Amino acid sequence: MIATTQIARGIYRVAFWDEPDIVSAGLLFPGATINLFVIAADQPVIIQTGLRRTFGRVRDRVQAIVDPAKLRYLVIPHHEGDSSGAINLWLEVAPRAVPLCSDLCASLSLRDFSDKEPRVVGEGEIVELGSHRLRFFMTPQVNQWDSLMVYEETTRTLFPNDLFSSMGTEITTAQDHSSVALSSARDLGYQPDDRRHLMQALDKISSLDIQVIATMHGPAVTAHVDTLIRTFRDQPLST
C-alpha cells in the first residue's frame, strides 16, 4: 500500500507499507510504514528518499504534489536504505536538487554514495525555501551516528529522524502516543539507551513550539508532544 496525506500546510506524508515484494525481500516489517515527506514550498524539498526498490512507486505519488524536476533539496536524515537508498534515482529526475546532510553523513557515506556532492548543514542552520523555512539540529547517535533532525518553522513541524517511530499504519494520531513509541523503541531496539546523546537531542527540541511530529515510521503525532518528549527523557529505552 502507498498513501499520501497532507499533515500541515504544504507538507505531505507519502507512506509505504505491506507491499508484498518489499516485505518478502526482508526490507520492511509487515505492518510498518516508511514515510517520505514532501514540502511543496517555493523551493520544494523531500525529506528522506525511500528505498531504491520503491522509487518508481513513490515518485509517482510525489509527482502528484510537485514536479520532481523542480525539487531543490533532498534532506538525508542519516545514511540508511529508507533514508538515502534512492538518492541517485531522485538526482536523475531532479537535476537542480542538492542533498543536505550532516558532516558525518557526508564524510562517512554520501560523498562516495551520492552522484552529486552533498551540502553539509550545521547546528542551527536555516535553509530558506520561500514559503517555508528549515532549521537543522545535529543529533549524533540518535538512531544512527550521522543523525540530524529538521524543524519546519512556519508550520512548526518536527522531522525527528527515527526517534518516536512505531509500528502501525495509522496516518495521524491525536492520542497520547508516548507508551506506543516507547514500547516500539524497546521492542525494536532501533535506539540504544544512550542517555547522553539522547538527552542532548531532547534538549534541542524540547524548547520548540511543535505542532506536528512527522515520524519516519508510524503516524504523524499531532497532540501530547510534551508528554512524548518527557517520556523519552524519563524512561529507559531498554528493559
pLDDT tens string 160-214: 999 999 999 999 999 999 999 999 999 988 877 788 999 999 999 999 999 999 9
The band of 237, judged by pLDDT with boundaries at 50, 70 and 90, is: confident
228: its cell numbers: 512524548
Q: C-alpha grid cell for residue 25?
A: 525481500
Stretch 45-73: mean pLDDT, rounded? 97
Over residues 28-41, the pLDDT tens digits come to 999 999 999 999 99
For residue 193, the model assigns a pLDDT of 78
Cβ-contact 10, 155 below 8 angstroms: yes
Q: What is the mean pLDDT of the chain?
A: 96
- C-alpha distance across the termini of the chain, in Å: 33
Question: Which of 143 and 32 is assigned the larger pLDDT?
Answer: 32
Task: State residue 214's pLDDT score.
Answer: 98
- Give 130's pLDDT tier (boundaries 50, 70, 90): very high
Spatial distance between the Cα atoms of 163 and 185, rounded to a whole number of angstroms: 8
* Percentage with pLDDT > 70 across the chain: 100
Is residue 74 scored above 90 in pLDDT?
A: yes
Please provide residue 173's backbone torsions phi and psi, each rounded to the nearest 5 degrees: -140, 135
pLDDT one-digit tens code per residue, 78-124: 999 999 999 999 999 999 999 999 999 999 999 999 999 999 999 99
pLDDT at residue 238, rounded to an integer? 80
Q: Give the Cα separation of 80 and 238 in Å (integer).
A: 23
**pLDDT given for residue 191 in this prediction:** 78
Q: Locate all alpha helices (DSSP H) within the chain, ordered by sequence.
A: 20-24, 55-63, 81-84, 87-93, 103-105, 111-113, 178-188, 195-206, 225-234
Strand, coil or helix: 208:
coil
